[in-house]
Structure 1
Amino acid sequence: MDAKKVMRSVFSFCSRAMVLLPTFLDGLAKTISSRKGKSCPCDVGREAANTLAKEARRNESILSSTAAVKISKSSRLASACSKRGRKGVNQDCFILWEEFGCQEDMTFCGVFDGHGPWGHAVAKRVRELLPSFLLCKWQEALGVGSSQDWNFEMEFDANLQHFDIWKQSFLKTYAAVDQELKLHRSIDTFCSGTTASTIVKQGENLLIANIGDSRAVLATTSDDGSLVPLQLTIDFKPNLPQEAERIKQSKGRVFCSHDEPGLYRVWMPNDETLGLAVSRAFGDYCLKDFGLISVPYVTQRKITSRDQFVILATDGVWDVISNHEAIQIVSSAPDRENSAKLLVECAARAWKLKRRGFARDDISALCLFLHTTETNRFDPPLKALTKSTWRQN
Structure 2
Amino acid sequence: MDLFDDLPEPTQPGGPVTAARPRAGTEEEEDEKEEEEEEERRAKRKREDAESEADKKEEQGEIKKVCKEGLPVLKGYVAARRGERDEMQDAHVLLPDMSSCLSLPGQSSRVSYFAVFDGHAGARASRFAAEHLHHNLANKFPSNSENVDKLIKKCLLDTFRQTDDDFLKKASSQKPAWKDGSTATCVLVVDDMVYVANLGDSRAVLCRMEAAADGQRRSVTLALSKEHNPTMYEERMRIQRAGGTVRDGRVLGVLEVSRSIGDGQYKRCGVISSPDLRRCQLTANDRFIILACDGLFKVFSADEAVKFVLNIVQEGSGERRAGLTEEEVQFEAACQQLASEAVRRGCADNVTVILVSIGFRAKSSSSSSSQHTQFD
Normalising by structure 1, we get a TM-score of 0.63
The one-character-per-residue Cα deviations of 1:174-196 (angstroms, maximum 9, x if unpaired) are 01001100121459665320000
Is contact 1:213–1:314 with CA below 8 Å preserved after alignment?
Answer: yes
The one-character-per-residue Cα deviations of 1:9-57 (angstroms, maximum 9, x if unpaired) are xxxxxxxxxxxxxxxxxxxxxxxxxxxxxxxxxxxxxxxxxxxxxxxxx
Tell me the SS of whatever aligns to 1:234. coil
Tell me the SS of whatever aligns to 1:80. strand
Counterpart residue identity of residue 338, structure 1: A
1:181 to 167, 179, 182: 167
Tell me the SS of whatever aligns to 1:79. strand
Counterpart residue identity of residue 343, structure 2: A
Name the structure 1 match of 2:251.
266
Alignment of structure 1 residues 1-393 onto 2, 5 Å: 75-102=73-100, 105-116=110-121, 119-138=122-141, 141-142=142-143, 145=144, 161-184=147-170, 185=173, 190-224=178-212, 225-256=217-248, 264-267=249-252, 275-333=254-312, 334=316, 335-351=330-346, 360-371=348-359
Tell me the SS of whatever aligns to 1:294. coil
1:82–1:101 CA distance, 2 compared to 1 (3 A): same
Name the structure 2 match of 1:46.
none
Looking at structure 1, the residues matched to 154 and 272 of structure 2 have their Cα atoms a distance apart, in angstroms, of 17
Looking at structure 1, the residues matched to 357 and 174 of structure 2 have their Cα atoms a distance apart, in angstroms, of 37
Is contact 1:106–1:202 with CA below 8 Å preserved after alignment?
Answer: yes
Looking at structure 2, the residues matched to 106 and 181 of structure 1 have their Cα atoms a distance apart, in angstroms, of 25
1:124–1:189 CA distance, 2 compared to 1 (3 A): farther
Looking at structure 2, the residues matched to 178 and 112 of structure 1 have their Cα atoms a distance apart, in angstroms, of 13
The one-character-per-residue Cα deviations of 1:81-113 (angstroms, maximum 9, x if unpaired) are 100021211001111112114176221000000
Name the structure 1 match of 2:370.
none
Looking at structure 1, the residues matched to 224 and 234 of structure 2 have their Cα atoms a distance apart, in angstroms, of 18
Identity of aligned residues (%): 28
**1:222, CA displacement in angstroms?**
2.6
Looking at structure 2, the residues matched to 311 and 188 of structure 1 have their Cα atoms a distance apart, in angstroms, of 37
Unpaired runs of 5+ residues, structure 2, are 1-71, 103-108, 317-329, 362-376
**1:337, CA displacement in angstroms?**
2.0
Looking at structure 1, the residues matched to 75 and 183 of structure 2 have their Cα atoms a distance apart, in angstroms, of 25
Unpaired runs of 5+ residues, structure 1, are 1-73, 147-157, 257-263, 374-393
Is contact 2:124–2:180 with CA below 8 Å preserved after alignment?
Answer: no
Tell me the SS of whatever aligns to 2:265. coil
Looking at structure 1, the residues matched to 174 and 350 of structure 2 have their Cα atoms a distance apart, in angstroms, of 24
Looking at structure 1, the residues matched to 231 and 196 of structure 2 have their Cα atoms a distance apart, in angstroms, of 23
Is contact 1:112–1:195 with CA below 8 Å preserved after alignment?
Answer: yes
**1:122, CA displacement in angstroms?**
1.4
Is contact 1:195–1:211 with CA below 8 Å preserved after alignment?
Answer: yes
1:120–1:215 CA distance, 2 compared to 1 (3 A): same
The one-character-per-residue Cα deviations of 1:118-154 (angstroms, maximum 9, x if unpaired) are x21211111000000001111xx43xx56xxxxxxxx
Bigger Cα Rg: 2
Counterpart residue identity of residue 200, structure 1: L
**1:77, CA displacement in angstroms?**
1.6
Tell me the SS of whatever aligns to 1:286. helix
Counterpart residue identity of residue 166, structure 1: I
Name the structure 2 match of 1:51.
none
Is contact 1:101–1:135 with CA below 8 Å preserved after alignment?
Answer: no
Is contact 2:259–2:273 with CA below 8 Å preserved after alignment?
Answer: yes
Is contact 2:99–2:110 with CA below 8 Å preserved after alignment?
Answer: no
Looking at structure 2, the residues matched to 82 and 299 of structure 1 have their Cα atoms a distance apart, in angstroms, of 26
Looking at structure 2, the residues matched to 91 and 189 of structure 1 have their Cα atoms a distance apart, in angstroms, of 18
Looking at structure 1, the residues matched to 184 and 335 of structure 2 have their Cα atoms a distance apart, in angstroms, of 18
Deviates more, 1:127-136 or 1:184-193: 184-193
Counterpart residue identity of residue 195, structure 1: T
Tell me the SS of whatever aligns to 2:119. strand
